Amino acid sequence: MSGSRRAVAAVVVGEELGPLVVPVTRERLIAYAAASGDHNRIHWDEPFARSVGLPDVIAHGMWTMGAAAELVASWAGDPTAVVGYRTKFTAPVVVPYAEGTQIEVRGRVKSLMADHPLGPRAVVELVVTCAGEQVLSRAQATLALAPAPAPTGDARGPVDRQRDA
């Protein structure tokens, strides 16, 4: 997913994003464990997860956070536009063996900083739920936006202005 970044002129405070529904399966958790190096048994071994007081296998918190970031990366038009991201893990994503589960991600543009010294930025608040329960709280992403085009002042362009000098 690469493309052009969302332009600052196309962003409105209060704009709603989503929903994005992301399936969560045991296969995904095993693949994430292999990629991340986090092989904690609570993410793949149901009897072990239950023995430590969990209701079942749970998704990796960082996987959940990354899956939620997909909403803003896609909306921004460029995954490298996500220049800041924070959250608090509030509830586990429980992943039953047979049917798996899903997370739902929604967002809302909280603020717009058109004159940020590093270029225009938008702050998006995320709401991430699983089975109706919020699993991430205070989730917030900061996104770099494409700047507004600079006014030229002369529709003829720089080449024509140089000839007239």
List, as one string, the DSSP characters of 76-114.
HT-GGGEEEEEEEE-S--B--TTT-EEEEEEEEEEEEET
Give the pLDDT score at 1. Answer: 46
pLDDT in tens, 61-98: 999 999 999 999 999 999 999 999 999 999 999 999 99
pLDDT at 154 over 90: no
Give the pLDDT score at 151. Answer: 72
Query: Is 153 or 144 the better-scoring residue by pLDDT?
Result: 144
pLDDT in tens, 119-142: 999 999 999 999 999 999 999 999
pTM passes above 0.75 = yes
pLDDT at 160 over 70: no
Long-range contacts of 136-139 (CB under 8 A, 24+ apart): 136/64, 136/65, 136/68, 136/87, 136/88, 136/89, 136/90, 137/87, 137/88, 137/90, 138/86, 138/87, 138/88, 139/65, 139/68, 139/86, 139/87, 139/88
